[in-house]
Amino acid sequence: MNALEQLQANPRVTIRKTGSPKTEGRCVVYWMQRAQRGVDNPALDVAIAAANQLQKPLAVFFGLHPKYPNANLRHYAFLIEGLAETKRRVEERGAAFIFRPFPNHDLIRFCEEVKPALVIGDENPMREPEGWRRAATEKLRVPFWTVDADVIVPTRFFEKEEYAARTIRPKIHRLLPVFFQPLENPKARFKWFSADLPTSQPIDEARLLAELPVGRSVQPVSHFKGGTSAGLDLLKKFIASGLKSYDTARNQPHLPGTSSLSAYLHFGQISPLTIALAVREADAPQPAKDAYLEELIVRREVAINFVARNPQYDRLAGCHGWALKTLDEHRLDPRPYLYTESQFENAETHDDLWNAAQMEMVTTGRMHGYLRMYWAKKILEWSPSPEEAFDIAVRLNDRYELDGRDPNGYTGIAWAIGAKHDRPWAPQRPIFGMVRFMARSGCERKFDVKAYSRRVEMLSKGIEQKSLF
């Protein structure tokens, strides 16, 4: 087996368009989308290795698409904040970073221009990006590979939808020793001649945000700054101060007990492997490390499995049959309150805790994970139907969360409203049936609700506190 065949046999690699790389091709192209980073990026590593083997330069192509479904100015601002650093880190590894924003963002036109021998891209289980990859497969005239770069254990090992975390956990743990290893981060050996280098537009953040035709109803946030370095700084702070108590503090929304790295994972600005290795080697109690790695690896990857294997991941119909049945049986139960989507969006409910959670999301682009469960379950309780509740939760999550439009978000909503990855709960309750119920009183027993609400109020008034979350 030669070196290229070894790359093709990598379990992270999917061969979407077969064939031998074209010997007359001028370069290898890496189509960067999901894994927006220049370090600890398996897709970039494969592209560099292939380019070195073919003795050709590597072009990392980033085409900024302005019409990603449900993305708005908030999301694009966070993405663009990280691009200049990604460019620098890619160039430090010997490749060219070619940035082409709308209307010049098309991969096929770029490939017609540079005439590659081979194209390599990221895997992404979401519906729209998967459609883009299938379209590229049909249109490209050279072999096309994609690399599963944003999980620790490749998704291909789980060919069917897993029923719950408990069914995927032993399978992941069996494979972890193979994949829970540092990456080599190789460098490209064959450089571009300056005369042949494809043109790249300067990354001017202000101009891009002003000119991109994106929705502007939701403004950027100041509480988080995009980019790999910002994510690594947060990780360092979490390892130093937050990890040691993670197993007890993670469900305490009034405390800074989580890593707040979900947006960086969503945009691929930091690798889950980078985080996992840092946690594994940290000087912290083993129960805290185990709890964090369970969330980062098992829970996150069962969510990715759900989105990859269930085409109705963002609809109530994607949930378990028993849950759909019990919700339908209670469809006509009287609701204690009924709110419109606008009232939810504006935090105009009778429940000050729910309102605070909504305002945390609107203000910071983040909602504490424990309250995401409570938030979605109350939307079910206060909406005319479970289908409408699910759709409202998805739209609000995607609109305001920096990590919206993500497998974790869809899985969390499916768990809260449709009992995805959960079990039936008895006795049955009005509206919920056998779907798990959450009460305000339960939150009050678990954490300081008033302290949490005060913190969110300070944030909503623009009082900056870096240690808030």
Domain shared by 155 and 303, yes or no = yes
As a whole number of angstroms, the distance between CA 330 and CA 385 comes to 9
Check residue 1 and give its pLDDT: 67
Cβ–Cβ under 8 Å, residues 224 and 78: yes
Q: Which helix (H) or strand (E) holds 30?
A: strand 28-31
Domain shared by 337 and 431, yes or no = yes
Domain shared by 305 and 387, yes or no = no
As a whole number of angstroms, the distance between CA 272 and CA 435 comes to 31
- When divided into structural domains, the chain yields a total of 3
Q: What is the mean pLDDT of residues 179-192?
A: 97
As a whole number of angstroms, the distance between CA 382 and CA 395 comes to 16
pLDDT digits (tens, 9 = 90+) for 315-357: 999 999 999 999 999 999 999 999 999 999 999 999 999 999 9
Instruction: Tell me the Cα Rg of the chain.
Output: 23
Question: Is the predicted pLDDT of residue 467 greater than 60, yes or no?
Answer: no
The single-letter DSSP state of residue 259 is -
Helix (H, G, I), strand (E, B) or coil at 171: helix
Let me know if residue 222 belongs to a domain.
Answer: no
- Single-letter residue type at 194: S
CA dihedral 406, 447, 294, 159 (to 10 degrees): -40
As a whole number of angstroms, the distance between CA 16 and CA 149 comes to 16
Cβ–Cβ under 8 Å, residues 82 and 35: no
Cβ–Cβ under 8 Å, residues 152 and 171: no
As a whole number of angstroms, the distance between CA 153 and CA 252 comes to 29
Q: Would you call the peptide bond into 170 cis, given omega within 30 degrees of 0 as the criterion?
A: no
Question: Is the predicted pLDDT of residue 443 greater than 60, yes or no?
Answer: yes
Helices (H), 126-204: 127-139, 165-179
Q: How do beta strands 28-31 and 118-122 pair?
A: parallel
Domain shared by 159 and 105, yes or no = no
Q: What is the CATH number of the domain that holds 367?
A: 1.10.579.10
Let me know if residue 363 belongs to a domain.
Answer: yes
Domain shared by 14 and 120, yes or no = yes
Question: Is the predicted pLDDT of residue 159 greater than 70, yes or no?
Answer: yes
As a whole number of angstroms, the distance between CA 26 and CA 7 comes to 20
As a whole number of angstroms, the distance between CA 118 and CA 106 comes to 17
Above pLDDT 70, what percent of the chain?
98
Q: What is the mean pLDDT of residues 264-283?
A: 98
Domain shared by 158 and 284, yes or no = yes
Cβ–Cβ under 8 Å, residues 365 and 221: yes
Check residue 463 and give its pLDDT: 55
pTM of the entire predicted model: 0.96
Domain of 365, in residue numbers: 316-460
Let me know if residue 206 belongs to a domain.
Answer: no
Q: What is the CATH number of the domain that holds 95?
A: 3.40.50.620
Let me know if residue 156 belongs to a domain.
Answer: yes
Q: What is the CATH number of the domain that holds 290?
A: 1.25.40.80
Domain shared by 166 and 301, yes or no = yes
